[in-house]
Amino acid sequence: MLKILRYALSILTLLFTTYGLITKNFEFNHIMTLLLGLTMLMMGLEEIQKERKANGWLFILVFLFSLFVSVQGLSL
């Protein structure tokens, strides 16, 4: 389940990135950062399930940082 959700979030992130690069319209960068952070959260949960807790917590910390950045960018 986590793997499917991770792939779906990765594809959405790639689509937003490709759209921004092709059209040079970067108004969706904050959404892309949020999706990338959610992808990191899924990866962190998968790592914790595989008993690789150090990598899992690192991914979760990256998720929290990207969440902070995207929320701050959306509020400005």
Return the domain boundaries, the chain: 2-75
73 pLDDT tier (thresholds 50, 70, 90): confident
Q: Each residue of 1-50: pLDDT tens digit?
A: 888 999 999 999 999 999 999 999 988 889 999 999 999 999 999 999 99
pLDDT given at position 60? 96
Closest CA to 42 of 16, 12, 7: 7
Confidence check: pLDDT of 61 > 90: yes
Predicted confidence (pLDDT) at residue 69 exceeds the cutoff of 90: yes
Decide if pLDDT at 74 tops 90: no
Residue 46, C-beta contacts closer than 8 angstroms, at least 6 positions apart: 2, 3, 6, 56
Count the residues in the chain.
76
